[in-house]
Amino acid sequence: MFDVVIIGAGLAGSVLAERFASSGKKVLLIERRQHVAGNCYDEVDANGILIHKYGPHLFHTDDAQVWSYLSRFTDWHLYFHRVEAVVDGKPVPIPFNFNTLHAVFPKSLADKLEAALLRNFEYGKKIPILELKKSADADLQFLADFIYEKIFLHYSEKQWGLSPDKLSGAVTARVPVLVGRDNNYFSDRFQAMPKLGYGVLVKNMLNHKNIKLLLNTDFKEVMELRGEQTYLFRKKFKGRLIYTGQLDELFNKKFGTLPYRSIDMKYETVDTEIFQSAPVVNYPNNCDFTRITEFKQIHPAKTPRTTIVKEYPLDYVAGKNEPYYPLFTDEARGAYEKYFDELSKFKNITAVGRLAEYRYYDIDDVVKRALDVFAELN
């Protein structure tokens, strides 16, 4: 009946479903939730504001192929993301840059630190905070210690439930110091948001006669692994299986549970047109939540009220919350490798995406990864 079975209708699974379907393959797409688009899913709330149900997902890329591909399924509105962090009670621009220096320090000290950055690094360069801490320059050591304490340390502890020294460099590298004055969070060539949202974008992507979509369906209801064979509807399946979920679940957690971090999203309606000074404001200290997102500033709407969400990080517990992030430690990665070795025994199964590959992907990264996998398999 089907040439390709894809488990998970997030971006990775949906891109691959569209690509295989457009190449003439019959595709079965299985999704355990009642909607497509995975954690990118969005919808218009009671206030008339397009909100992201699983927290903010911002699109940005330097990859023209990814931009061109997604543009087939959506119109865009230009959007340049801004983030602030509350430091000593005052919201300041993030990534930490020259404007932030002058917002938190007296002018003479800010000028001195700005000069030190320019002496040691190229203008426009982003320096990971832990790299800055290794500098032999006393002024930069002072600056690195300040940023580490005020912006990075406690935020990371809340986000991951671990001290930063236990996390991989892939996490810490995402907290840079910008040698410059650009308050935009990203510097990519293409920065925009889907005009009608990610949900509509993915629905357009899956609107193909060769795609059969099963929502609200656990893959184990229709598929199983026996020995080194895959079965669909209790019959041996010889086609290609694309898996985008948690790899430990595919193998019934035979090597133990892989750790993930989750987030408790607390949505609030605020009786004001605009709530905060930037679309996202981080709270590194003094709050249980990590950040507040105001969706009206991401998707403009003419409404008298606004919608915000506060994010409270917590451990992932199967059946109680959603897995958002693989836990990026050496121990967790080692546990994942056992499952990946098991996967290699199945010649017709390919793991794709953040959960299945146990790595961090931005939106453009996962789309690119899916396009590359299709090219390899087709």
User: Which helix H or strand E contains 342, and what residues bound it?
Assistant: helix 330-343
| Whole-number Å distance between alpha carbons of 274 and 320 | 33
Query: What does the pLDDT read at residue 68?
Result: 98
How many CB atoms are located within 10 Å of the residue 35 CB?
Answer: 16
Query: What token pair was written down for 75?
Result: 């119109």
Q: What is the pLDDT of residues 173-184, one digit of tens each?
A: 667 899 999 999
What is the CATH number assigned to the segment(s) 4-45+53-78+192-259+322-377?
A: 3.40.50.720
Whole-structure pTM value: 0.95
- Listed in sequence order, the residues at least 6 apart from 236 whose beta carbon sits closer than 8 Å to its beta carbon are 229, 230
Distance, CA of 129 to CA of 309 (rounded, Å): 27
For residue 354, give the nearest of 246, 256, 219 by alpha carbon.
Answer: 246
- pLDDT per position as a tens digit, 267-294: 999 999 999 999 999 999 989 999 999 9
Lowest mean pLDDT among 95-104, 111-120, 162-171, 351-360: 162-171
Cβ pair 104, 87 in contact under 8 A: yes
> What percent of the chain is modeled with pLDDT above 90?
89
What is d(CA 186, CA 71) in angstroms, rounded to the nearest whole number? 20
Per-residue pLDDT at 176: 87
Q: What is the per-residue pLDDT for 174?
A: 66
Helix pair 11-22, 363-377: axis angle to 10 deg: 30
Extract long-range pairs of 139-143: CB within 8 Å, 24+ residues apart.
139/112, 139/113, 140/113, 140/116, 142/113, 143/101, 143/113, 143/116, 143/117, 143/177
Q: Is residue 273 packed enough to be buried (19+ CB in 10 Å), middle (13-18) or exposed (0-12)?
A: exposed
For 186-230, write each residue's pLDDT tens digit: 999 999 999 999 999 999 999 999 999 999 999 999 999 998 899
- How does the average pLDDT of the chain come out, rounded? 95
Domain ranges of the chain: 4-45+53-78+192-259+322-377, 83-178, 261-315
83-87 sheet: strands from edge to edge: 90-94, 83-87, 280-282, 291-294, 306-315, 260-270, 325-326
The whole-angstrom separation of Cα 147 and Cα 132 is 10
Q: What is the 3-state secondary structure (H, E, C) of 83-95?
A: EEEEECCEEEEEC
